[in-house]
Amino acid sequence: MPITSVTKDAESLTMTVVADFTVTPRRLWDAYLDPRMLERFWGPPTYPAVFTRHDGYVGGRSEYAMTGPDGDVSRGYWEWVAVDELKSFEVRNGFANPDGTANPQMPSMRMIFAFDATPNGSRVSTTTRFNSVDELEKLLSMGMEQGMTEAMGQMDAVLADLAAFAAGDGTTTQVLSDTQVRISRVVRGDPDAVWQAHQEPALLRQWLLGPDGWTMPVCEVATEVGQTYRYEWEKLDGEGRFSFTGTLLESLPPHRSVTTETMIGTDGPSTTNELTLTPVEGGTLVSVLITYPDATVRDTALATGMTDGMESSYARLESLIG
């Protein structure tokens, strides 16, 4: 069990949980910043978490759901208040409604995560600040302390999984629900360089090509919210031309962008693609959350070999900027 102390202070309205690990501070930090790792320990064993959004920057937001053994779902959110990379971050943590909005019927709290090097590895101190004694007692009575203890008890196994933190493992696909899929890859290069490679047509034409043997003759990029983009590809011999278009819904360089996507010339439904760039050990974690209209469309898209095509593209991107 990594937890070394739990201190509750009704006078200061805080609870502080301290846990020690035999890993570097970088790896411990990345475990919280990488949603693939965080969701393996944020919820207790019987209530695993799935993060459908996870921003590691001031003003960002995280959204997650924990599902119990009987199918009951508890939803939550983080609002990112402060970030001091590799040292600490602070979030407002609260309960959420099914649509992701804050549940005003339940209390929210501030959580400060502080990371320190120790002689044997690293330590994370999690201090929860409550708004009142009543809210502190209410949340403790709901099992908050036990839940955190059980959740953090899973961290040793997660941190020991060295392969999960290695750059170069390729593109991974996680089916999060009937309508959502997360595509992830660590790309060697900093977030600024990765962001620029997603914005400049001259760079996009060099890497966003899918399998070998394709070109990108049309690359019209949306740079401001509300603008539309258009991408077209064809084989080297000029055959097989196809294209996509969509609208830029959100843009926060160099962290996040959200677009719609529709295949031109078909009556197929559109998707929503959320791109998030997070600095981690070895480079930048590129995560794309794709929301489909239903499971059938999701499975049809995955069956096209989409993951392999994205891996080919990301490998080119890495060689271009790494």
- What CATH number corresponds to the domain at position 48? 3.30.530.20
Output the CA angle 277-279-284, nearest 5 degrees: 65
The predicted pLDDT at position 146 comes to 85
**How much is the average pLDDT of 294-304?**
94
Same domain, 191 and 53: no
Q: What's the mean pLDDT when you consider all of the chain? A: 93
Looking at the structure of the chain, the number of domains it has is 2
Question: Nearest Cα to 274, choosing from 61, 102, 99?
Answer: 61
Residues 193 and 159 in one domain: no
180 and 310 share one domain: yes
Are residue 177 and residue 114 in the same domain, yes or no?
Answer: no
- d(CA 191, CA 82) in angstroms, rounded, equals 19
| Residue 163: per-residue pLDDT | 57
The whole-angstrom separation of Cα 216 and Cα 230 is 11
In this predicted structure, what is the pLDDT of residue 1?
A: 55
Gyration radius from the chain CA atoms: 21
Please return the burial class of 243, using the count of CB atoms within 10 Å of its CB with bins 0-12, 13-18 and 19+.
middle
Domain end point (choices 133, 148, 165):
165
Domain check: are 183 and 259 in the same one?
yes
The residue-averaged pLDDT of 258-287 equals 94
Residue 149 amino acid letter: T
Residue 313 pLDDT: 97
What is d(CA 7, CA 17) in angstroms, rounded to the nearest whole number?
A: 7
pLDDT tens for 176-188 read 999 999 999 999 9
d(CA 37, CA 287): 13
Q: Quick one: average pLDDT of 13-34?
A: 93
Domain closes at, from 131, 165, 199: 165
- pLDDT of 69 over the 80 cut: yes
Q: What is the pLDDT of residues 216-249, one digit of tens each?
A: 999 999 999 999 999 999 999 999 999 999 999 9
Q: Are residues 244 and 303 in the same domain?
A: yes
Cβ atoms within 10 A of the Cβ of 188, count?
16
Do residues 322 and 189 lie in contact, with contact meaning Cβ atoms separated by under 8 Å? yes
Q: What tens digit of pLDDT does each residue of 89-114 get?
A: 999 999 999 988 999 999 899 999 99
Residues 161 and 187 in one domain: no
Question: Across-strand partners of 128?
Answer: 15, 111
Both 206 and 137 in one domain: the answer is no
C-alpha closest to that of 163 among 151, 172, 150: 172
Last residue of a domain, one of 150, 165, 180: 165
Quote the pTM value.
0.91
**Kindly report the CA angle at 54 between 49 and 56, in degrees rounded to 5?**
135
Which of 157, 129, 126, 195 is CA-nearest to residue 22?
A: 157
The residue segments making up the domain with residue 242 are 172-321
CA distances (Å), origin 51, targets 79, 224, 234, 243: 14, 27, 36, 31
Residue 3: pLDDT band with limits 50, 70, 90: confident
Question: Terminus-to-terminus CA distance in the chain, angstroms?
Answer: 38
The better pLDDT of the pair 157, 115 is held by 115
Q: Which of 159-168, 202-211, 269-278 has the lowest mean pLDDT?
A: 159-168
> Residues with Cβ < 8 Å from 86, sequence gap 6 or more?
25, 26, 29, 115
What pLDDT is recorded for position 55?
A: 97
The Cα 307–Cα 210 span in angstroms is: 9
Per-residue pLDDT, 165: 59
Asked whether residue 38 falls in the same domain as residue 130, the answer is: yes
Same domain, 180 and 280: yes
pLDDT in tens, 24-68: 999 999 999 999 999 999 988 999 999 999 999 999 999 999 999
Token pair in block for residue 321: 């900027």
152 with 179, same domain: the answer is no
